[in-house]
Structure 1
Amino acid sequence: MIKLSHLPSILVGMRFALAPLLVFDALDHKTSFWFIIGYVIAVLSDIFDGIIARRLKVSTPQLRQADSWADICLYLCVAISTWLVYPQVIIDFQVPLLSAIAIQLTLFAISLIKFKKFPSFHTYTAKSWGLTLLAATIGLFGFSYANTLWFAIVLCWLNSLEEIVMTLLLPTWQCDILSIFHAVELRKVLMHSSSSQDGV
């Protein structure tokens, strides 16, 4: 019998499993109705795994990092699927898409250099970015409409810039920091704690 405390891990694992199935559906250069269904289920798993983990008090750094890797896997598979089905969209948006990739890689590089770990903040802007990606993916694969990609690209930049600043601000690696304002307050607490220990 599955323990309730294992549910967040199961949801993360489900996202890892669903991601390559999206690519499989797109291999013939078109997608079925199940592509949208699978993607929506994956996004819902992303929304609820964190909520459930916090409610059950099982939100560990390891789980949140796995959650971040599942997100990367999902959106990489969506990008591959887009190239297979809508290559012209990738070509038309190549400059803004490359800029979004560049700012994300910059964030990853700064976090790896400073903390030897990938970022896992799960900020409000990250959640907003996820919703715009949902709208963009449904718009493209459901209605062949690409312009909603602009919202996702703008939110990617806002989220990445916020998390870069947060990474530079915080003295130690942290997960589940909801915004730059929370990061500033946490920095004050951590610096005060550090100075108090040094004074002992």
Structure 2
Amino acid sequence: MIAPKDIPQILIGIRFAIAPLLLLDALDHQTTWGFVVGYVIAILSDIFDGIIARRLGVSTAKLRQLDSWADICLFVSVAISTWLVYPKVIVDFRVPLLLAIAAQFTLFTINLIKFGKLPSFHTYTAKIWGLTLLIATVCLFGFGYASTLWLAIAFCLVNSIEEIVMTLLLPSWHCDVLSIFHALDLRKKLINSSN
């Protein structure tokens, strides 16, 4: 029997399992409606794993890092699937996509250099970015409409910049820091407690 405390891990596991299935669906350079359904289920698992973990009091740093890795696997699978099914979209959006990728790699690099691990802030801007990415992915794979990708790229850049600044502000690694304002408040508390 599944214990309630295991539900967040199961939801993260669902996301890890769906990521390669999306890629498998795209290997023949087209996708079925199963791609969209699978992606929506993955995003719902991402929304609810954190909510349930916090309600049950099992939201550990390790769990939140695992959640971030599941997100990375999912988004890489969607990116590769987009290249396989809609290569023209990748070519058309190459400059803003490269900027977004560079911003994410900069964020990851700064975190690895400073803290030795990837970020796991789960900020409000990350949540908005996730929603815009959901809209863009459903529009593209469900209806062949690519213009909503602009919104997802814009929020990727906003989120990356915010989290880079947060990383530079914080003296130690923390997960679930919801915004730059929360980071400033946390920094103040950490500095005061060390004095």
d(CA) in 1 for partners of 2:33, 2:133: 18
- What is the count of residue pairs matched by the alignment? 195
Q: Which residue of 2 aligns with 1:97?
A: 97
Instruction: Please give the secondary structure, in 2, of the residue aligned with 1:173.
Output: coil
Gaps of 5+ in 2: none
Q: Could you tell me which residue of structure 1 aligns to residue 147 of structure 2? A: 147
Please give the alpha-carbon distance, in whole angstroms, between the structure 1 residues aligned to 2:36 and 2:84: 15
Cα deviation, 1:22-64, whole Å, max 9, x if unaligned, reads 0101111111111110000000000000000000000000000
Equivalent residue letter for 2:115: F
1:175 equivalenced with 2:175 (yes/no):
yes
TM-score, length basis structure 2: 0.99
Runs of 4 or more, structure 1, over 2 Å off, are: none
Cα offsets for 1:123-146 (capped at 9, x unmatched): 000000000000000010011000
Deviation at 1:174, TM superposition (A): 0.2
Q: Unmatched 5+ residue regions in structure 1?
A: 196-200
- Distance in 1 between residues matched to 2:85 and 2:25, nearest whole Å: 10
Q: Distance in 2 between matches of 1:78 and 1:106?
A: 21
The residue type equivalent to 1:159 in the other structure is N
Determine whether 1:136 maps to 2:136: yes
* Residues 1:71 and 2:65 aligned together: no
Identity of aligned residues (%): 71
RMSD: 0.4
- Name the counterpart of 2:35: 35
By how many angstroms is 1:158 displaced?
0.3
Which of 1 and 2 has greater Rg?
A: 1
Corresponding residue for residue 9 of structure 1: 9
Correspondence for 1:20:
20
1:1-35 CA deviation, whole Å, 9 max, x = no partner?
11000000000011000000001011111111111
What is residue 55 of structure 1 aligned with on the other side?
55
